[in-house]
Amino acid sequence: EYFYMGGNGLVIATTPLRGYDDRRVGPRDPISGEVIGGRVMTKYTTELRFALTLDPIPVYLLAFAEAGNVFESFDKTDMFDLRRSVGFGARLLINPLGLIGFDLGYGFDRRLTEDQDPEWLFHFQFGRGF
């Protein structure tokens, strides 16, 4: 099984990393440049949530910082070669749907993963995962 990382995690078999596009973090095919996934993954997340209101609909504001990467194998793993992001967002607990989230993430290392300049990306979340 291979790991893929990036985006909001709503794409099947993808670990979220806000501030990056879906499945765009990790090793690439040297010819096509497409992400091929890896056998080793590391991710660090810290998130601070503040309850704005709890009644009638719980609404939370949050700030986050994340770092992670995917590697081809254990021998090619570098725990300091991480893709970093920060951002902020909101969560609403809507019954019976559950937790719905909206985040803006800034991926500092987009040039390394996507050959694009860093920018703010919008992410939609459904459920508790981050």
- Specify the pLDDT at position 27: 92
Tell me the pLDDT tens digit for each residue of 64-101: 999 999 999 999 999 999 999 999 999 999 988 899 99
> Does residue 90 fall inside a structural domain?
yes
- Specify the pLDDT at position 22: 92
> Does residue 19 fall inside a structural domain?
no
Task: Please report, for residues 4, 22, 87, 91, the alpha-carbon distance to residue 35 in angstroms, rounded to integers and kept in the order given.
Answer: 8, 11, 24, 30
Number of structural domains in the chain: 1
DSSP secondary structure letters along 16-42: -BTTS-TT-BS-B-TTT--B--BSEEE
> Does residue 52 fall inside a structural domain?
yes
**Which domain does 102 fall in, by range?**
45-67+80-126
Integer Cα distance of 41 and 80 in angstroms = 12
* Tokens 């810290």 -> residue: 46
Tell me the pLDDT tens digit for each residue of 10-27: 888 789 999 999 999 999
